[in-house]
Structure 1
Amino acid sequence: MKAGEDARGVRSEKPKKLGLCVLCGLPAAGKSTFARALSHRLRQERSWAVGVVAYDDVMPDAFQEEASARPLPSQWKSLRQELLKYLEYFFLAVINGCQMSAPPSRTEAMWEDFLTCLKDQDLISSSALEAQSHYLLTKTAVSRPLLLILDDNFYYQSMRYEVYQLARKYSLGFCQLFLECSLETCLQRNGQRPLPVPAETIHLMASKIEKPNPEKNAWEHNSLTIQSPASASEARLKLTDLLLTALENPVKYVEENVEQKETDRIICSTNILHQADQTLRRIVSQTMKEAKGEQGFPYNLKLLAEELNKLKAEFLEDLRQGNKKYLCFQQTMDLSDVISFFHYEKDNIVQKYFSKQH
């Protein structure tokens, strides 16, 4: 580890003011126009380095050629997470004062659009190093307070929380701007666009949108709702105060308590083991009662009891050690799964001794 870096490889000798601002709202609420104006003002009045990352501009072109080609929700989620990874690589370069490297796994069209976005806003420069997938940061990016504005609908709280997690991971400033606009106005503006979003999509989004809720969620306390179009003077003062507060008070990085997580896992594992032991004992006992009612040979009953008790012991050892002899398809330690698998194996054993009766 280099001098002046913490466990995450982040330099700590001279903290730089870095922030993420989530700009959310319905399609055609005026977010992109607002973001461009805000970016220009912050550069002129504050001399900040500002980048607007519009998700619609960075997503792969193949999905934007026609409405029928739009990806499934699962694909959108994957693309959003990939874009967050790009943002993480950029912030790592800024924090460490080094070149930005390309993620080993990436969608080429999307990565190229992301690079173009940063170049156009004077955050990375073109260089011969691009052939080696390394990109030089500009002097603007490394020498000034830096704010990235993420422009998207972000209509679910979970979408915004993913951005907050990135801010927390690298102790970045974080804030949210919700651009409030009536559904009727959004539909009217959308209809005038060259490539309008389907009206039913906007209606659906309006019914599902989860506005920032600072009273309910502590992580959303740096949030501001702005009416579209915004009233210049009052909105400007509140907005400047919000952004300054975010940059001056970055989200604190919380080190995961690995030891506590392991303790919790052991306790959970022990509890399931105890429950499984009690339940499997009852199943074996009940099976032996039923077997005696079948009036089988005493020697067979003895062998059956031995096999069932051996099966019980092996299942418990499987749970304890993770040998996966019987529970090979089990992804999580769920008691109902253990019982189901045990019943299956138990029935196979019983069938051997009482096949004529069944």
Structure 2
Amino acid sequence: MKAREDARGARSEGPRKLGLCVLCGLPAAGKSTLARALSHRLRQERGWAVGVVAYDDVMPDAFFEEANPLPSQWKLLRQELLKYLENFLLAVINGCQMSAPPNRAEAMWEDFITSLKDQDLVSSAAPEAPSHYLLTKTAVSRPLFLILDDNFYYQSMRYEVYQLARKYSLGFCQVFLDCSLETCLQRNGRRPQPLPAETIHLMGSKIERPNPEKNAWEHNSLTLQSPACSSEASLKLTDLLLTALENPLKFVEDNVEQKETDRIICSTNILHQVDQTLRRAVSQTMKEAKDEQLLPYKLKLLAEELNKLKAKFLEDLRQGNKKYLCFRETIDLSDVISFFHYEKDNIVQKYFSKQH
């Protein structure tokens, strides 16, 4: 009851100041340390409500334990978490209690709720309503910033958060923590549960830094050298967050006709690029198979399977398959190619295991 009264009071005072901050960089760059320090400082010095959402703490442990998780699985989990964030933001914006979404990943949802509870942003409604949560006084009476702590190494991952901020006219900013690959590898090696070194190497080769000159939506971005503990870095961070809160994004109505036109243009360009890349992959694989002296009839069968796989991927893209988002802002070619290589390797493995 108290939380509902607080929520109504907050709404009567005018629009809430809400912001989303994307904290990105390589594993072991110091993002989580920065997020904790920033959260503490904003609470103490500014009196803001702050929620740090650490993806590593919320994503299912089973996913990280897999040797070679599919890129599409990771994408689905990220989108699931964004759905939970949107659920919480809607409750804050409307000044109402939050309900658990249907068809949720139960363990992931519970970890998300536990994180919000630990940061004094929600509380359980009542024992008889286990799937309902009340916003705390902290969550409804102060400016609120959610800091999303993850690698966000592809631009498209960050753009999804930007879209959420734009949808609800929230403040939005990005902080890229710049740290050398060698330092990240050293820090990672000292962790109780280090990531495989090849994972960090791969991410280092793929990471897309914020590029405000190329992407207008990334204009409110800041790059800091790790460790970002200087007073100058603190001042820059505070200025960035204040700018985001004072300049919320403007909601833009979806133009269905324009989006469809964009999708067709995008599909044409993407299809050509993917077709060329997959052709090279198939050609290289067949060359390797010949070098391994695969029997002629097996070479023929392998070529048929690989070409069928390539055709399936291209048709999926042509049809706008939801595995591969086909709008210019969100397409991630690396995911498509990685997924193709994953399925291609499964096919190739069959033939070589038979050979030996």
Which of 187, 190, 193 does residue 189 from structure 1 map onto? 187
Aligned residue number for residue 117 of structure 1? 115
Question: Aligned ranges for residues 180-259 of structure 1 at < 5 Å?
Answer: 180-257=178-255
**Runs of 4+ in structure 1 over 6 Å off:** none
Aligned pair in 2 of structure 1 residues 197, 14: CA closer, same or farther (>3 Å)? same
TM-score, with structure 2 as normaliser:
0.68
Task: Say how many residue pairs are matched.
Answer: 255
SS in 2 for 1:126: strand
Which of 67, 92, 95 does residue 93 from structure 2 map onto? 95
- Deviation of 1:101 after TM superposition, in Å, equals 1.2
1:86 equivalent to 2:88? Answer no
Q: Which amino acid aligns with 1:200?
A: E
Q: Which amino acid aligns with 1:102?
A: A
Aligned pair in 2 of structure 1 residues 331, 188: CA closer, same or farther (>3 Å)? closer
Q: Which amino acid aligns with 1:202?
A: I
SS in 2 for 1:171: coil
Q: Which amino acid aligns with 2:46?
A: R
SS in 1 for 2:236: helix
Aligned pair in 2 of structure 1 residues 16, 173: CA closer, same or farther (>3 Å)? same
- Deviation of 1:132 after TM superposition, in Å, equals 4.8
- Deviation of 1:127 after TM superposition, in Å, equals 3.1
Unaligned 5+ runs, structure 2: 1-10, 265-317, 321-356
Aligned residue number for residue 8 of structure 2? none
TM-score, with structure 1 as normaliser:
0.68
1:28 equivalent to 2:24? Answer no
Larger radius of gyration: 1
- Deviation of 1:229 after TM superposition, in Å, equals 1.0
- Structure 2 distance, partners of 1:154, 1:101, is 28
**Residue deviations 1:65-97 (CA, integer Å, cap 9, x gap):** x353x6321111000000000000000000000
- Structure 2 distance, partners of 1:87, 1:37, is 22
- Structure 2 distance, partners of 1:71, 1:123, is 32
- Structure 2 distance, partners of 1:171, 1:130, is 35
Between the two proteins, what is the percent identity of the paired residues? 84
CA contact (8 A) 2:99 2:132 kept: yes
- Deviation of 1:261 after TM superposition, in Å, equals 5.0
1:74 equivalent to 2:75? Answer no
Aligned residue number for residue 344 of structure 1? none
CA RMSD of aligned residues (A): 2.1
Q: Which amino acid aligns with 2:158?
A: R
CA contact (8 A) 1:59 1:110 kept: yes
Unaligned 5+ runs, structure 1: 1-10, 269-329, 333-358
Which of 163, 166, 170 does residue 165 from structure 1 map onto? 163
- Deviation of 1:12 after TM superposition, in Å, equals 9.8
CA contact (8 A) 2:154 2:208 kept: yes
- Structure 2 distance, partners of 1:24, 1:199, is 19
Question: Aligned ranges for residues 127-138 of structure 1 at < 5 Å?
Answer: 127-128=125-126, 131-138=129-136
CA contact (8 A) 1:61 1:109 kept: no
- Deviation of 1:120 after TM superposition, in Å, equals 0.3
Q: Which amino acid aligns with 2:33?
A: T
- Structure 1 distance, partners of 2:98, 2:54, is 20
